[in-house]
Amino acid sequence: MASQRYSIFSVIKEALVGHTGWMPTWRDASPKADYDIIIIGGGGHGLATAYYLAKTFGLSRIAVVEKGWIGGGNVGRNTTIVRSNYMLPGNIPFYEQSLKLWEGLEQDINYNAMVSQRGVLNLYHSDAQRDAYARRGNALRLHGVDAELLDQAAVRKMLPFLNYENGRFPIHGGLLQRRGGTVRHDAVAWGYARAADQRGVDIIQNCEVTGFRRDGNRVTGIQTSRGFIGAKKIGMAVAGNSSRVATMAGLRLPIESHALQAFVSESIKPFIDGVVTFGAGHFYISQSDKGGLVFGGDIDGYNSYASRGNLPVVEDVCEGGMALMPRIGRVRLLRQWGGIMDMSMDGSPIIDHTPIDGLYINAGWCYGGFKATPASGLCFAHLIARDEPHPIATAYRLDRFRTGHAVDEKGQGPYPNLH
Ligand SMILES: Cc1cc2nc3c(=O)[nH]c(=O)nc-3n(C[C@H](O)[C@H](O)[C@H](O)COP(=O)(O)OP(=O)(O)OC[C@H]3O[C@@H](n4cnc5c(N)ncnc54)[C@H](O)[C@@H]3O)c2cc1C
């Protein structure tokens, strides 16, 4: 179990000894015969769950089983935006708790995740959209969450290079959350992995779950590419592969998988301080510390488990960028990739029991799950440890699609590709 603490003193000490004393960030564990709790999926949510199970609930004999490598899934593929400016009562306390956990995360896990509260600005382009944003801002402030409605002059001051006079989508102002921002995505996976490992969690990479073993209605373990592993409780946190893994347990989920693409330009001088989103289409952009413009847009329109996207969406995202800031057309695209999104029917997640005893599910994050990582881990750990939902995650029930208690933040209806 690695127990090295990172600090200015350890950096100085290692500089003096030629960096020969750094320990592995986490152990490369081999599977044991059985555990009390197994989490399937070594993404942000799975690792955070294991960490809080050990830290907050004091549990041990925990393993995280990952089919690839830590950071290879969506946790290392997203556009790194974190915020808590949701409007519905079921969502606000959850996402605000997540943002609060981000604010203290680096101290908590002793890892530099480059949490940067540089602000998230959602632009509005019509009077009706302004009214909707004013309503959202009011709902947030009533819940103690920061939100500021800006007029065009205030936005111009912050971002003078945007296309305010665009004939179709003139920019009238924006809703700003100053506490939102970005976090280095793969560092979150590495940081949680290290912190969980330090508390005794076995992180088992290159170990694909291929089936479940049951005794009656109770799950007793998982079949994997490295053999059978027994467990009293099993949590699924496999994001885009949720429906595939659930099928192995005989469950059919209200989830579709779609690819979402991200884009990074060549490095240029800093000119975008925070995160900016285009309110008349689907386009969001920030600038990384290395100078690359990091941006994205909509999911691909068809269902897929392939983490590569199609060209019409590339064109659509670039159109959004050009409408918002025409100067982006002069920048060269450096790289682009995709990830698989677990799109639920109402655009909101599921953190719940399944109909199978001892099997729990964490899924349906759509393309907003990165910001939720800390709260999702905490709430999933609470559910698994105590067998009851965390008070801030009671809305994320699996049966809400049957009972009609949808949490439809966007108001799009049961069309996963539109959320
Ligand atoms: C391009 C893109 C941009 C995004 N932008 C944002 C953003 O700006 N802000 C935001 O909040 N969210 C964003 N998201 C969404 C966010 O990344 C995801 O919702 C979130 O990361 C999903 O949770 P995770 O980290 O646990 O997923 P993952 O990292 O995908 O973890 C799931 C893990 O399960 C493993 N797994 C799957 N099947 C098996 C199996 N059979 N056995 C063992 N392991 C298995 C996978 O290998 C994977 O490592 C974006 C996503 C993408 C792809």
pLDDT for res 11: 95
Please indicate whether residue 208, judged by its CB atom, sits closer than 6 Å to ligand 1: yes
- Please give the distance, rounded to the nearest whole angstrom, from the Cα atom of residue 395 to the centre of ligand 1: 21
Q: Is 31 a residue whose pLDDT tops 80?
A: yes
Better pLDDT: 387 or 1: 387
Q: What is the mean pLDDT of residues 350-354?
A: 98
Q: What is the pLDDT of residues 285-304, one digit of tens each?
A: 999 999 999 999 999 989 99
Q: Which residues share a beta bridge with 212? A: 222
DSSP conformation class of 116: B
Q: What is the 3-state secondary structure (H, E, C) of 158-197?
A: HCCCCCCCCCCCCCCEEEEECCCEECCHHHHHHHHHHHHH
**pLDDT-derived band at 335, boundaries 50, 70, 90:** very high
Please report, for residues 37, 103, 172, 285, 382, the alpha-carbon distance to residue 273 in angstroms, rounded to integers and kept in the order given. Answer: 42, 19, 20, 10, 36
* 150 residue type, one letter: L
Q: What is the mean pLDDT of residues 122-144?
A: 97
Q: What is the pLDDT of residues 54-65, one digit of tens each?
A: 999 999 999 999
CA-proximal residue: ligand 1, atom 41 (nearest): 209
% of the chain exceeding 90 in pLDDT: 95
pLDDT for res 414: 87
CA-proximal residue: ligand 1, atom 50 (nearest): 78
Please indicate whether residue 103, judged by its CB atom, sits closer than 6 Å to ligand 1: no
Low-confidence winner among 43-52, 111-120, 308-317 (lowest mean pLDDT): 308-317
**pLDDT-derived band at 419, boundaries 50, 70, 90:** confident
Q: Is 381 a residue whose pLDDT tops 60?
A: yes
Mean pLDDT of the chain: 96
Q: Is 236 a residue whose pLDDT tops 90?
A: yes
Among 401, 398, 399, 394, smallest CA distance to 379 is for: 394
CA-proximal residue: ligand 1, atom 48 (nearest): 73
Side-chain half-sphere CA neighbours of 191 within 13 A: 25
Q: Is 315 a residue whose pLDDT tops 70?
A: yes
pLDDT for res 200: 97
**pLDDT-derived band at 1, boundaries 50, 70, 90:** low
- Please give the distance, rounded to the nearest whole angstrom, from the Cα atom of residue 320 to the centre of ligand 1: 24
Q: What is the pLDDT of residues 190-230, one digit of tens each?
A: 999 999 999 999 999 999 999 999 999 999 999 999 999 99
Q: How many residues does the chain have?
A: 419
Helix, strand, or coil (residue 101): helix
CA-proximal residue: ligand 1, atom 18 (nearest): 369
- Please give the distance, rounded to the nearest whole angstrom, from the Cα atom of residue 340 to the centre of ligand 1: 7
pLDDT for res 74: 97
Cα pseudo-dihedral 175, 116, 77, 7, rounded to 10: -160
Tokens of 237: 């946190």
- Please give the distance, rounded to the nearest whole angstrom, from the Cα atom of residue 188 to the centre of ligand 1: 12
Please indicate whether residue 317, judged by its CB atom, sits closer than 6 Å to ligand 1: no
Tokens 């990830």 — which residue?
A: 339
Mutate to test the pocket of ligand 1, among 367, 373, 378 (most ligand atoms within 8 A of CB): 367
Please indicate whether residue 367, judged by its CB atom, sits closer than 6 Å to ligand 1: yes
Tokens of 277: 């989103």
Among 79, 404, 415, smallest CA distance to 256 is for: 415
User: Model-level pTM?
Assistant: 0.97
CA-proximal residue: ligand 1, atom 35 (nearest): 41
- Please give the distance, rounded to the nearest whole angstrom, from the Cα atom of residue 230 to the centre of ligand 1: 25
**pLDDT-derived band at 182, boundaries 50, 70, 90:** very high
Mutate to test the pocket of ligand 1, among 80, 238, 277, 288 (most ligand atoms within 8 A of CB): 238
CA-proximal residue: ligand 1, atom 3 (nearest): 78
**pLDDT-derived band at 416, boundaries 50, 70, 90:** confident
Q: What is the mean pLDDT of residues 2-30?
A: 93
Helix/strand/coil percentages in the chain, nearest 5: 30, 25, 40
Q: Is 166 a residue whose pLDDT tops 70?
A: yes
Q: Is 275 a residue whose pLDDT tops 80?
A: yes
Q: Is 325 a residue whose pLDDT tops 90?
A: yes
In 89-177, where does DSSP find H-type helix?
92-109, 127-142, 152-158
Q: Is 2 a residue whose pLDDT tops 80?
A: no
- Please give the distance, rounded to the nearest whole angstrom, from the Cα atom of residue 74 to the centre of ligand 1: 3
Q: Is 49 a residue whose pLDDT tops 80?
A: yes
* 97 residue type, one letter: Q
**Which string of b and e fits 12-24 if b means at least 16 CB within 10 Å?**
eeeeeeeeeeeee
Q: What is the pLDDT of residues 63-121, one digit of tens each?
A: 999 999 999 999 999 999 999 999 999 999 999 999 999 999 999 999 999 999 999 99
Burial zone of 217 (CB within 10 Å; 0-12 exposed, 13-18 middle, 19+ buried): exposed
pLDDT for res 401: 93
DSSP conformation class of 357: B
Which residues, at least 6 apart from 271, have a Cβ–Cβ distance to it below 8 Å? 161, 287
**Which string of b and e fits 92-122 if b means at least 16 CB within 10 Å?**
bbbbbbbbebbeebbeebebebbbbbebbbb
Long-range CB contacts (< 8 A, 24+ apart) of 145-149?
Answer: 145/84, 145/85, 145/92, 145/96, 145/177, 146/177, 146/178, 146/179, 147/85, 147/175, 147/176, 147/177, 148/175, 148/176, 148/177, 148/178, 149/173, 149/174, 149/175, 149/176
pLDDT for res 27: 96
- Please give the distance, rounded to the nearest whole angstrom, from the Cα atom of residue 130 to the centre of ligand 1: 32
CA-proximal residue: ligand 1, atom 31 (nearest): 43
The DSSP result for 323-353, as a single string, is HH-GGGGGSPEEEEEEEEEEEESSS--EEEE
Q: What is the mean pLDDT of residues 267-276?
A: 96
pLDDT for res 307: 85
